[in-house]
Chains A and B, each alone.
Chain A
Amino acid sequence: MSVFLQLKHLRKSINAGEHLFDIDEFGIRENTCMVLSGGNGAGKTTLLKILAGLDNPDHVDILYDGEHLPWKLARQKLCQDVVYLHQQPYMFDKTVAENIAYGLRRSGLNRAQVDEKVDQALQWAKLSKLATRNARQLSGGEKQRVALTRARVLSPRLLLLDEPFASMDINAREQTIQLIQRLKSEGVSTIVTSHEPHISTLIGDEHRHLCKTGPCRYTVVKPFLFQRNMAQRPQHPTQHKTSESREPSAGLYFENDAGQENKSPVDQSDTTMNKDTTIPQQQITAVILAGGLARRMSGQDKGLIEINGRAMIEHIIDALTPQVGSILINANRNLDQYRRYAYPVIEDTMGEFFGPLVGMASGMQATNTDYLLTVPCDSPFIPPVLAEKLFRELQDKQADISVAHDSTRMQPVFALLRTGLLPSLMTYLEDGGRKIDTWYAEHRLARTDFSDWPDAFININTPDDKQRVERKMAHQ
């Protein structure tokens, strides 16, 4: 499924100098349903209106079907090929049938052709009974269906739905989701905005998030997009029924909706897991947090400091490799040097040097596995049982986060987290939160005792530390 519409360097400001968003790259694929999430005021609606040609950006480079277009021309094309649906759709003061015919009457078709298409569309959306009613007198859910049908008869390439589920009951929501699924089977791409992250597990093929960055919410913020890798979702050739998208792997959150008291996202693999069996190593991704500034080491990149002739990160990789399914390196500097180790190097998706939580969020975004193991880049004595112990404690306590504890205090960066926590973490970060302890406290936390591994948390902060560690390592 190729990208047919690509926007680059999309900038929009509300007042002079105050950026609403600044998006480096945003591509829309054919035949794809994208969920665009983001907090209130993040610019979701404005972004959609620009995509529909209803609003002007300050700057944008558009590639449409591989062709560079100036905005004026692109805008015309977008008006033709893209249909935008308001959160509360506007109904013309006419009958339902006339509302659906609105776009067709202006497309050069003759009267008979229009009538035929409208009849078909009314049947498609099960609206035939309402055809002669004034569209303004319909209920909210019915209006939404009329609006979707009114858009569909034009066979747009892209359909933009602005918070379609915001004020809907379960039934109306269900019907709307079904219509969206059917639109996809007809080759219409859709973007659905939502502030509820779990909508993406119901309908989305990909998930993007419009979010703020910046050290705290009071500074000028520059939102941007990240892409959640949804590749692990089972891809059905056609997805007509919503029931198909409720399979366990995709329905991570849906199961919670179904009334489970358990608030944590529970995957099936958990419930079938027996304590005596080995840990699901393949479902754990380790992320080495090397994104810090290392102020006390005069800015030297800690992960690259050599200890006994090998970079610290090599010692860590050695310790982690037998424990986990895959390894990621989170770094913001010296990327090329980190890439030499042949593991994916991911940069912080939000801002720069905001601390370990951002590194964790970046790790969760980059991985498909159920669990994320985090370790710092400056503790060379990683216990060989780190992942196992953390995981067992997580299972025992039915917790969301399992964090290492060294008899006196918590070691928050040695932790095992469920990757399902990503929406919660993003929300916390966007609200300006940076404190790891505060965020942990919002979730069920299991403290895993590592007092029998006294060296585990030795880290290197000063050149003296380094010498001590080198001596210690030589002894072993």
Chain B
Amino acid sequence: MTQLLETSRQALVLLFSGDPTLWSIVSISFSVSLRAVLIATPVAFLLAFLLAHARFPGRRVLISTFNTLLALPAVVVGLTIYMLLSRNGPFGDLKLLFTQTGMVIGQIVLCFPLLVAFSHATLQAADQRAWETAVTLGARPWQAMLTLMYEVRYGLIAAVTAAFGRIIAEVGSSMMIGGNILHYTRNITTAIALETSKGEFAQGIALGIILLLSALLLNFALSFMQARGDTTP
């Protein structure tokens, strides 16, 4: 018990003393996950819009597929991409294994289905009149699409928030694709795993606190967005 208290005290010291190693790990985590979300979101929104409002063969199959992929385990993504990017794999020549770009790819794959499924549900439920009103007032189809997305923006932001929450906290794919290289591909979750296995809990707890705090913040933001989305008819 005294040991737990002692390590917690050390963790707080680490947090507030501005330990450069700790903050480099935190910044890598956020930079990789933000890049992944930024790249995945526009494509996911467009696809979700098409799934919600266009009629083409295979639409229902696609929707079911993305709903299923919501439960995709991070380690399976890590394993698959590891094999694709490894020296002998089909994309080995790109030399992306154990790089941040590799980690971004893994996290894109992880958050894409979630983005599509959530924003599809939002766009599907959007008021059809919004689209018709925009078109009849002279908006081109893509302008009308942006208008429709603006009208349901709270739901879409909630989807992005949920997607970010998922990939900032995943460990499987980052560990396998990134390789946990200090100052380069070591992020919060892989660092916690490593420090714990070494028996050095202080840094792990400090990182865990950051992760928890950001998760808390994201969830507050999420419920706030959902509340806004609900109250605007």
Contact = CB atoms under 8 A, between A and B. Distances in A.
A86 B139 contact: no
B137 A52 contact: no
Nearest to B139: A106
Contact of B129 (A83, A86, A93, A136): A86
A93 B140 CA distance: 19
Interface string B71-82: 000000000000
B147 interface: yes
Given A92-B151, A93-B151, A106-B143, A54 B132 contact: yes
Nearest to A153: B137
Interface in B126-149: 127, 129-130, 132-140, 143, 147
Interface string A79-109: 1101110101110110000000011001100
B147 A92 contact: yes
A304 interface: no
A405 B136 CA distance: 58
Nearest to B136: A84
Interface in B217-233: 232-233
A150 B138 CA distance: 11
A51 to B, nearest CB: 10
Contact of A102 (B134, B232, B233): B134
A36 interface: no
Contacts of B184: none
Contact of B132 (A80, A84, A103, A154): A84
Contacts of B150: 92-93
B35 to A, nearest CB: 30
A151 interface: yes
A150 B133 CA distance: 10
B151 A54 contact: no
B132 A86 contact: yes
A150 to B, nearest CB: 7
A83 B139 contact: no
Interface in B91-142: 127, 129-130, 132-140
A194 B6 CA distance: 78
Nearest to A102: B137
A92 B134 CA distance: 9
28 contacts: A54-B132, A54-B136, A79-B135, A79-B136, A84-B136, A86-B129, A86-B132, A88-B129, A89-B129, A90-B129, A90-B130, A90-B133, A92-B130, A92-B147, A92-B150, A93-B150, A102-B134, A102-B137, A102-B139, A102-B147, A103-B139, A106-B137, A106-B138, A106-B139, A107-B138, A136-B232, A154-B137, A154-B138
Interface of A: 49, 52-54, 79-80, 82-84, 86, 88-90, 92-93, 102-103, 106-107, 136, 150-151, 154
Which 5 A/B pairs are nearest by Cβ-Cβ distance? A103-B137, A90-B129, A90-B133, A84-B136, A103-B138
Interface of B: 127, 129-130, 132-140, 143, 147, 150-151, 232-233
Given A84-B136, A106-B143, 19 more contacts: A49-B132, A54-B136, A79-B135, A79-B136, A83-B136, A84-B132, A89-B129, A90-B127, A90-B129, A90-B132, A92-B130, A92-B133, A92-B151, A93-B150, A103-B137, A106-B138, A136-B232, A136-B233, A151-B137
